[in-house]
Amino acid sequence: MNRAQILSPVAAAPAVRPPGQAREALRVFLRNRTAVFGLLLLLLILAVTLAGPWLMPGDPFEIAAAPMEPPGSEYALLGSDYLGRDVLMGLVHGGRATLLVGVVAAVLSVLIGVVVGALAGYYGGWVDDLLMRITEFFQVLPALLFAMVLVTLFSPTLATIAIAIGVVSWTGTARLARAEFLRLKRREYVLAERVIGAGNGRIIWRVILPNAMAPLIVSATLAIGTAILFEAGLSFLGLGDPNIMSWGLMIGSNRPYILTAWWAVTLPGAAIFLTVLAVSLIGDGLNDALNPTLRGRE
């Protein structure tokens, strides 16, 4: 029996989730009523916001009615804000900017976290020490304050807001990725790849990372909700992009009039709440579906 035959059973160990396990995860997810509700709610929100220009063509900054008209008025179904802008128009058009910032910031956060965590967990030693000290430095920084500084320095645009949120919110993903790589790097199929001469790059990104994706997918899903709340917080403090309508901008610009025109603040706040709720429910459902230790509860 030659060397290749000896190694072949180990080398052939699955490096990704088998199709049967993926179908089982999907079945568990679909049996979770709250997760399915969250998915349907998010799809509805996406449909409305993405189809906004066709549903309600026009400029959300245009004056449509008298200032602070209550809901049900002739020219503004959900009322108008302190300038007379249509709140419904703002909700439909503003969701695109809010969701875009949330997704881009979450993707950037996950990318940074995965790269830092993967390198720290795989190499260990001084690389792990250095990267974890950097992670701890960012972790102890006041995230909102640091994001405010970055946005102020580089001007408040959607791009800078998304980058600022991503830069300050990657530490949790980094620690999660590090833990997964520490757990998986001594598995048999990883050792087999080393024996047959696979490079570190292949082992990290094509062997270990696919097996660590389940918790990272859950983390990425929840990061979207966190980024949406972050964008709303920055806009509430007056650091949003004033030239692009967003739910956070609607809340921030109307906050002085919350007692006299509650709808101009409450309705975009409710939109943010429902979106973050939907994302959180989906994240919980994915966690139950992708975590084998939780499937027994079904």
21 is a domain residue:
no
26 is a domain residue:
no
124 is a domain residue:
yes
Place of tokens 């792990």: 128
Q: Dump pLDDT digits (tens) for 61-76.
A: 888 888 888 888 777 7
169 is a domain residue:
yes
DSSP-H helix ranges across 196-261: 200-202, 209-211, 213-236, 247-254
Where residue 122 sits, what CATH number does that domain have? 1.10.3720.10
Q: For the whole prediction, is pTM greater than 0.75?
A: yes
Per-residue confidence (pLDDT) for residue 298, from 0 to 100: 44
19 is a domain residue:
no
**Which amino acid makes up residue 238?**
G
145 is a domain residue:
yes
Domain that holds residue 237: 32-290
Q: Dump pLDDT digits (tens) for 139-156.
A: 888 888 888 888 888 888
125 is a domain residue:
yes
User: Is pLDDT of 277 > 90?
Assistant: yes
Per-residue confidence (pLDDT) for residue 14, from 0 to 100: 44
Number of domains in the chain: 1
Q: Dump pLDDT digits (tens) for 253-266.
A: 888 888 888 999 99
Would you place residue 292 in the very low, low, confident or very high pLDDT band (cuts 50, 70, 90)? low
Per-residue confidence (pLDDT) for residue 233, from 0 to 100: 85
Closest CA to 266 of 84, 60, 53, 90: 90
295 is a domain residue:
no
User: Is pLDDT of 31 > 70?
Assistant: yes
User: Is pLDDT of 15 > 60?
Assistant: no
